[in-house]
Amino acid sequence: MLVGIGIGGCFVLIFGIIGAALLIKHFRAKKKAEESQKWSSAAGRITESYVRREDSTDSDGYPTTSYYPEVQFTYEFLGSEYAGNKIAFGGSMGGGQKKAQESLAQYPVGKDVIVYYDPNNPGDAVLERRVSGNVFLIVGIVFLVISVCVGCVGGVIAVANLVP
């Protein structure tokens, strides 16, 4: 019985930590997107624009393919040239090829763009002052809910086994 409680406790702890980490990542990206509303802007140019393909295998051995929109751009600040690669905050989440291509349609190579950069750290720049999605938020909440539910069920079972 103690082994079961220990294993269940580890499961709850791991899921809780992962959920909390994903929520922290989401809210940090959201805060940065809000702060960027006050950032300076500069003229920039797209130097690379492509869909990155990533093949992997899931836990059941089935192959999966995800596609990521990738851009590279340059801009100037006080006479120095900088390079960036962020479309939006929060990182790019993989998805279907069509969605990645649609995301890149507005950023063809050679296009002049407005780049938003942190005046205190001009190397930190982005093309869109927003969070790229809510995947970290949703998955973080799901992991925390699973952690709490398993913890509650495990607690009820443990208490029920202690009652003579």
What is the tens place of the pLDDT at every residue in 85-139?
999 888 666 778 898 898 899 999 999 999 999 999 999 999 999 887 777 778 8
Hey, how many other C-beta atoms are within 10 angstroms of the C-beta on 159? 9
**pLDDT of amino acid 107:** 96
**pLDDT of amino acid 7:** 63
Q: In whole angstroms, what is the distance from residue 71 CA to residue 160 CA?
A: 57
Give residue-wise pLDDT tens across range 5-62: 556 677 788 888 888 888 888 888 888 888 889 999 999 999 999 999 988 888 888 8
**pLDDT of amino acid 2:** 45
Inform me whether the pLDDT recorded for 158 exceeds 70: no
Q: Classify the C-alpha dihedral 36-38-39-43 as positive or negative.
A: positive
Inform me whether the pLDDT recorded for 156 exceeds 80: no
**pLDDT of amino acid 39:** 95
Q: Which of 15, 44, 14, 33 is nearest to 110 (CA)?
A: 44
**pLDDT of amino acid 160:** 64
Q: Which domains does the chain have, with CATH numbers?
A: 1-36+133-164 (no CATH), 40-128 (2.40.50)
**pLDDT of amino acid 36:** 84
Q: In whole angstroms, what is the distance from residue 94 CA to residue 98 CA?
A: 11
Q: In whole angstroms, what is the distance from residue 98 CA to residue 104 CA?
A: 10
Residue 150: CB partners within 8 Å, gap ≥ 6?
A: 8, 11, 12, 15
Decide if 55 contacts 65 (C-beta within 8 A): yes
Q: Which of 126, 131, 141 is nearest to 75 (CA)?
A: 126
**pLDDT of amino acid 1:** 46
More confident residue, 135 or 164: 135
